[in-house]
Structures are given as structure tokens and as C-alpha cells.
Amino acid sequence: MPCQIPDFDELDRRLIDAYQRDLPLCERPFAAMAERLGASEAQVVERLQSLQQRAVLSRVGPVFDHARAGASLLAAVAVPDAERDAVAAAINRSPGVNHNYAREHDYNLWFVMTAADVMQLEARLEALEEELGQPLLRLPMVEGYHIDLGFPIPWAELEAP
Amino acid sequence: MSLTSPHRDTHGEVDPQRLRALLEGGLPLTERPWQALAEQCGMSEAEVLAWVERWQREGLIKRMGLVVRHHALGIRANAMVVWDLPDAAVAEVGRRLAAEPAVTLCYRRRRCSPEWPYNLFCMIHGTRRERVLAVLGDIIERQELQDIPHRVLFSLKAYKQCGGRYTREDQP
């Protein structure tokens, strides 16, 4: 199956390759990035806005260490396929949900819920369980070995037929 | 906005929670993003930069930059591989898997037996399912994990993908 890749020109790619981490911490970060990439500050800002509008960019900013930032939990629920979209919508409406995926398994909906602390997280999980009428698989993290550092984009592979 | 609006403690220090809540939504894409955030939370630009520098140094912020939605880029074969490892081996295998270039995330989670016996999770992202499976097969062989029960859960659909929200502000 060919990959459908929207148009990303050289500047888009270099921005994504160079700045998934180490955004310059200064008053005009986009000017500093532009200088390194041989572009103008206005170009960089415009590209970032465009990538964000096209939903390629979730945001420009920090990724917090979730263990230090507050409480979070991976949870899963098994629902009939016919009800999957409706249950996913209910999960999405729950406060604190930041990821929600359908996966190939009896446990077919997987989501991450976050909160300021464990008590708030527990209250949110209980409220969602009550709404869904069934228990959630609760899978707290015990130890992280490699978490969300950004990874290289395989541009050539994306372009291959 | 008045600079006297934020809560300052007896040392004149600003409560940074408002800044953290704003940061979770990402930087405004303007020439002076920190200044824009500073105006919204009643700090100076220098104070905002100092807090962010401190949070980076302390490890609260793990990385700062472009947070990409891989699915939108065309990286759509996203496999969560789960393993049922002996407790005594899970940390060592976890570190070995984390060092594999194809593994984008790797962590130990609490089992939820009997429904869920798996205690190690890793992610392998790729453009195509068959390539991801080939990479996984290669990892299993090289890391000698042939006897470890595992399951591969490809994602079918992303219903939501955004940054974590931890602060009490901006949340019900």
C-alpha cells in the first residue's frame, strides 16, 4: 500500500529533523532556528503554523516527565466493535485523557489518563468506569527505559511507492 | 495585564503553576513566544525563561521542541509489543530493547493478571506493517527472546493524541 504523505519541503523536513528536541531557550527561538537553517524567522514561524494547521505538529513546546509532572496511567477496555467509536468518544470526553487508540486485540481501546495527583486520577478512572459500566484494565508504569525522546523520520521510506 | 496579579510568596517568587498549565498547550507561534506567555501569566519574559531553564535542568521537562503526530506524517504502522517476562529479567531486557534503534518507547508496567500477564511494553513505529514485523522478528532473534510470550497490538485508529495535562488549572 503506498504511503500518503502530504507535501513536506526541505525546510519542513529540516525543522522536524533538527528540532524535535533542543528548542533554543532564548527570547527569539524561531530566529535562532532560522539562522541555523538558513531561513528567515518569518519563514520558520509560518512553517510551524502551517504544520500545526495541518495537524502534523501537535505543538511546539515541552514534553513533561509524566512521573514528575503528576499522575498518569495506561488503561484499556474491551468493547464490541460496533460500540467502539461511541465508547472512544466517551473516553475522549473524560478529563485528563491525552491519548486514545484502537488496537488489534480483545482489549481494543487503549488510552492514557493524566491528573494532578493520584487521588484525582483515581476519581477520574472510577467515574469513567461507572459511565462505561465495566472495569478498566489499569496498567501503571513501574519503570521507564526509553520514553518519548522524538525519533528520526524515515523520509525516504515515506516517499517510496 | 497587571504584574501584581499573580500570587507571589513572601520572597516575591511567582507561583509557576499558571505557566506550567499554559506550557502544556504549547508555545504560541509568534516571534516572542516567551513574552506572550509571560503576559498571560503575569511574569516577566526573563522569569518565564528562568522557570523553563530550571524545569529542564531538574528533569520535569524531558524535551522541548516540535511534538510531531507521526500518523499525520504517514508513519501509520504503530505496534505496541507486550512481553511477559520473569520479574527478575524485565529491567535488563527493557534496557536492551530500549537501546534498539527501532524501539521508540519502552517501559515496565504492572501486570493485571489474569487478564493481562504482560509486564514489558515497547513501541515500534513504521510506515508499513510488514516492515515493523520484520524488524520485530530481527530483534527477537538477536536479543534471544524466542521463548518469551509476547503479543503485537497494531493501532487501528487514533481517536486522540495530545500532550498530557497535569495541572489543576484549565481542567474540570
Ramachandran angles phi, psi of A6, nearest 5°: -65, 170
Q: What's the CA dihedral at B134, B140, B143, B146 to 10 degrees?
A: -160
Cell of A117: 495527583
| Minimum distance, in Å, between the CA of residue A133 and any CA atom of chain B | 18
* Residue ranges of B 116-145 with Cβ closer than 8 A to chain A: 116, 119, 121, 125-128, 131
Q: What pLDDT, on a 0 to 100 scale, did the predictor assign at position B172?
A: 39
pLDDT one-digit tens code per residue, B69-95: 888 888 888 999 999 999 999 999 999
Angstrom CA distances, B149 to A108, B42, B83, stand at 19, 54, 6
From first to last of its 172 residues, chain B has per-residue pLDDT tens of: 444 445 566 666 677 889 999 998 899 999 999 999 999 999 999 999 999 999 999 999 989 999 988 888 888 889 999 999 999 999 999 999 999 988 988 999 999 989 999 999 999 998 899 999 999 999 999 999 999 999 999 999 888 877 667 776 544 3
Q: Chain B 56-85, CB below 8 Å of chain A: which residues?
A: 56, 58-69, 72-76, 78, 80
Look up residue A77 and give its three cell numbers. Answer: 477496555
Name every chain B residue with its beta carbon within 8 A of the beta carbon of A56.
Answer: 68-69, 72-73
- Please tell me whether the interface predicted TM-score (ipTM) of this complex is above 0.95: no
* Number of residues in chain A: 161
Alpha carbons A65 and B62: distance in angstroms, whole number: 6
- How does DSSP classify residue A51? H
Contact criterion met (CB < 8 Å) for B167 and A63 = no
Chain B environment of A15 (Cβ under 8 Å): 66
A42: cell is: 518569518
pLDDT tens digits for A36-87?
Answer: 999 999 999 999 999 999 889 989 999 888 777 888 899 999 999 999 999 9
CB-based contact (8 Å) between B45 and chain A?
yes
Rg (CA), chain A: 20
Those residues with Cβ within 8 angstroms of residue A122's Cβ, 6 or more apart along the chain or in another chain: none
pTM value surpassing 0.90: no
Residue (of B84, B86, B128, B82) closest to B106 by Cα position: B82
